[in-house]
């Protein structure tokens, strides 16, 4: 019987936005559990650092690419397949978080957020579906946000893009269920990352969270790994809220 340490052995996992923060924690956990990991990001220098942290090939394969549009996403996915041999699991986490009040959102900011957070998720998942369907197996996990579930006028374009991630998750899950491809999402609450610390609201968020702390990246990585792993056999089209009790449904 496989142990937790090798439950992903033989699996190839592709993680987008994989140069730092949450995605690095996700990649590290998959690698620790035996998976071969590919990272996709537009930040070439960050990719190199992340791959080095994961031990380099075969521990990690770095794919540099802009996945906001179909041509770039297809090229990045094809390169990942060439390097990894196949992709069994896709984790969509490429995203941006530019805070702006709702009445100040201009077209350029709108496009930047939706192209990065939602369009990339669609194109990468579509590429994964075409790749996974012939084998009738696969997992896709996308990172949404609790902001998709609650009003958030301070960053409404971000919240709307993450609500779109949840909607596409359901649609892809229905489309691919007959092919044994499970498609799910995770909506994290605040996560302890350098970007969150820079906003100066870490302590307030920790105090306002029912569990009394902000999530570590490893907390969320565990949820992602479960949804993508062999222990998940029957969940598809679901969004798991991992917010320390901030959002309860």
- 97-104 contact pairs (CB < 8 A, 24+): 97/155, 97/158, 97/195, 98/155, 98/158, 99/154, 99/155, 99/158, 99/199, 100/155, 100/157, 101/153, 101/154, 102/153, 102/154, 102/156
Strand order in the sheet with 60-64: 60-64, 36-41, 12-16, 89-92, 138-143, 181-188, 239-242
Catalytic residue selected from 97, 112, 152, 158: 158
Q: Phi and psi dihedrals of 137, rounded to 5?
A: -165, 145
Question: In the annotation, is 152 catalytic?
Answer: no
Which residues are tagged catalytic?
Answer: 158
């Amino acid at each position: 019987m496989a142990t937790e340490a090798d439950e992903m052995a033989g699996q190839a996992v592709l993680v987008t936005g994989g140069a730092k923060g949450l995605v690095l924690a996700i990649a590290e956990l998959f690698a620790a559990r035996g998976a071969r990991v590919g990272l996709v990001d537009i930040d070439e220098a960050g990719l190199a650092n992340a791959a080095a942290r994961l031990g380099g090939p075969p521990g990690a394969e770095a794919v540099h690419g802009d996945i906001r549009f179909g041509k770039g996403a297809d090229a990045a996915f094809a390169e990942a397949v060439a390097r990894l041999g196949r992709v069994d699991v896709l984790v969509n986490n490429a995203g941006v978080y530019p805070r702006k009040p709702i009445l100040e959102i201009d077209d350029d900011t709108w496009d930047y957020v939706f192209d990065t957070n939602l369009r990339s998720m669609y194109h990468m998942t579509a590429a994964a579906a075409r790749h996974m369907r012939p084998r009738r197996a696969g997992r896709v996990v996308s990172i949404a946000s609790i902001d998709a579930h609650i009003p958030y006028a301070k960053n409404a374009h971000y919240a709307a893009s993450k609500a779109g991630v949840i909607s596409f998750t359901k649609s892809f899950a229905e489309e691919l269920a007959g092919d044994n491809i499970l498609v799910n999402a995770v909506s994290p609450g605040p996560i302890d990352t350098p970007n969150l610390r820079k906003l100066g609201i870490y302590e307030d968020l920790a105090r306002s969270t029912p569990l009394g702390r902000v999530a570590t990246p490893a907390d969320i990585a565990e949820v992602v790994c479960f949804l993508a792993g062999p222990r998940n056999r029957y969940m598809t089209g679901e969004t798991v809220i991992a917010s320390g009790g901030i959002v309860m449904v």
